[in-house]
Amino acid sequence: MRKQSTGEALTWGYSKENGPDSWHTSYPIAKGNNQSPVAILSKDVFKDPALLPWFTGYDPGAAKNIRNTGKTLRIAFDDTFDRSVLRGGPLPGIYRLRQLHIHWGSTSDKGSEHVVDAKRHAGEIHLVHWNSSYSNYADALRKTDGVATIAILMEVGKNPKPEMKRIIEEIDAIKTKGKEAPFLNFDPSILFPQNRSYYTYQGSFTTPPCEECVTWIVMKEPISVDEQQMLKLRSLSSNSAEDPHCPLQDNWRPLQPLNNRMIRSTCQ
């Protein structure tokens, strides 16, 4: 990592010096009572018969670009109106899709953030939506029901999801930190597993400032990826083009205490 000039706050990251254990020094809420990710134990989950199915209506035309932020791979969507939306499930209203990003490991035995029945997967896709009853995204971040994130666990398996291809193909165009490429005509619902049943709980963003505004919808069924696709993700650099290559990997936050929160699931 590059040395930073005196007086400049050390930016957050995933290394020893600026990793998750130190985030709270700049972002105190990272030590709050409703942080994410959490361990999900299926035997302790409340099977709630009142919990409804969720629905998305995504407009492929809302996809804008794909970017290497130095901390993740992120796809941005147009959220200026109710164009690509999520509703139903545990949610009180309509939520607009803003961005999709991925967490992954340096090896395929780690990388996911949520851990279900003690199993950590190779990666986790997050689709971040905000409650369109608030005037804008920044406003939604200040509300406990402001954001809804769908989490899809990635498992290295025999029948890799061909739908991941579109994202993987674009990686060479965004090798280094700050690189961005157009990413048009993409419907992220192709990434959903077949079975839509889910776990849900109230938590936070897993990256600073770790705002506690997220209703999590964690898919029970993982999607399959292959080792080649994981290697491709790990070939991204967390450094800019001018700096030496530093693999962008292990960009996942460790488990946070559940405290008094309840995790619910659909009965199926």
Interface residue list for Zn ion (CB under 5 A): 126
Residues 6+ apart with CB under 8 A from 150: 86, 126, 127, 129, 192, 217, 219
Q: Which is nearer to Zn ion, 126 or 179 (CB)?
A: 126
Q: Which is nearer to Zn ion, 45 or 150 (CB)?
A: 150
Rounded Cα gap, residues 57 and 144, in angstroms: 23
* Residue nearest Zn ion, CB atom distance: 126
Q: Which is nearer to Zn ion, 87 or 126 (CB)?
A: 126
Rounded Cα gap, residues 12 and 208, in angstroms: 7
Shortest distance in whole angstroms from residue 238 CB to Zn ion: 16
Q: Which is nearer to Zn ion, 51 or 218 (CB)?
A: 218
Shortest distance in whole angstroms from residue 35 CB to Zn ion: 13
For residue 192 the two structure tokens come to 């959903």
For residue 191 the two structure tokens come to 């990434």
Q: Do the strands 95-104 and 198-203 form a parallel or antiparallel pair, or are they unpaired?
A: unpaired
Residues 6+ apart with CB under 8 A from 140: 130, 131, 134, 146, 147, 213
Q: Which ranges of the chain does DSSP label H, i.e. alpha helix?
A: 23-26, 137-140, 165-169, 227-234
Q: Which is nearer to Zn ion, 96 or 126 (CB)?
A: 126
